[in-house]
Each structure stands twice: as structure tokens, then as C-alpha cells.
Amino acid sequence: MFDLNTYQKEVRLKDGTKILLRPMASEDKDALYEFFKEVPREEVRYLRDDVGSRSIVENWAANLDYAKTLPILAVKNGTVIADATLNRRRFGWKWHLGTVRVFVHRDYRNVGLGQVMIKEIASLADSLGLEKLVAELPEMNAPAINAFNKAGFHRVAFLPNFVKDRENRPVDLVVMVKDIRPAHDEDYDYEF
């Protein structure tokens, strides 16, 4: 096990750019708000939360709980350039699952940052004892679907008109899953 409070990692992108990966801290609220302010309106429509709302970002920063939601930021020269979040439950029948969300600043797409973020979240999920990761994506977001596919996720469901965007229009949803660990422990007798 590792300490999330001291975790950080320097990585290099395909173009040679060095970035720092680290958990979000409460002091990141302004930088994260600036990051999300630059999200194009067309893309904001499909995000789960209203990231343009300063109060939402401030609420995230004020209520950090790594045991429930682990936000990992990619930072370059003090500026947030990507955000990946691992959501998990500690108890119940979904304790072994993690839900993944990743958003990369448009200036840092197509240089491998999305892949880096997805793979890092998968590595952290493994360290935290999770067995599967789940990603829910709008069907029309082919670049994101391809990024998750390259990172070892596979499509398990297509749900037509399942969610609604910010303008209340129906959106088809793709559910993708990545196995981190085997689903069954060989030492346990599953016979009934």
C-alpha cells in the first residue's frame, strides 16, 4: 500500500513534455476552476457535473475524501492540464469497483496524456485493491472511447438515449470495463 498524501509522479508525454501527477489538494480549487473554465461549451454539455460553477469546484476542494473519490491532477508549470477521478465505495456489493472519469485540456490531447491518466488510475486502483474499473462515455466521443480501449477497457454495454446532456437532449451511453484483478479468489470454495 502507498500513502496517497505523499503520492506524486513525474511522467513524460510522447512529445517530451514533463508533467507531474498528484492528488488534488484543497489549495487546487482556483487552478482546477481555471482548468474547467476553458472547457468548450460543446464538451461541457456531456460532463456529469456543472464544472463551470465555481461553487461546485470549491465544494470538491472543501470535501476531499480520497477513500471515496480520488482526483489525480496532471500539472505542468503549476497549471492543471488534466483531471482523472477514481470513485469507489468502501462497502456493499460494489466495493471492488472503481468508476473512472478523465478530462484532458484540449491543448494536451493527442500527445498521450489521456492514456497516461487512464493507466495511472488503473495502477492506483490495483494498489487500492480494486478488481474492476468502469467508464461511462457518450457514444459520440470516439477519441475518449478509443483512449479507454487502448488502455485495456472493453465495451460491455451500449445504452441508447440513456442520459441527458445539459440541454436536456438524450445521449447514447457506452459502458466500458477493465479487469484489474481476477474476479474470484482460487482459495475460496464457490460451490453451493
Dist. CA 170–CA 164, nearest whole Å:
4
> What was the pLDDT predicted at 192?
47
pLDDT by residue (tens digit) across 167-192? 889 999 999 999 998 666 555 454 54
The region of weakest confidence among 5-14, 74-83, 122-131, 182-191 is 182-191
| Superfamily grouping for domain 9-179 | Gcn5-related N-acetyltransferase (GNAT) (3.40.630.30)
> Collapsing DSSP states into helix, strand and coil, what is residue 122?
helix
Any residues with CB less than 8 A from the CB of 115 and at least 6 apart, and which?
147, 150, 151
Q: Is the pLDDT of residue 1 over 70?
A: no
Say yes or no to pLDDT of 82 above 90: yes
Percent of the chain with pLDDT over 70: 91
Mean predicted lDDT score pLDDT of the chain: 87
Helix, strand or coil, per DSSP, at residue 192: coil
Average pLDDT in the 2-25 region?
88
Query: What confidence category does residue 135 fall into, taking pLDDT thresholds of 50, 70 and 90?
Result: very high
- CA pair distance 27, 68, nearest whole angstrom: 19
Give the dihedral sign, CA 78/79/84/88.
positive
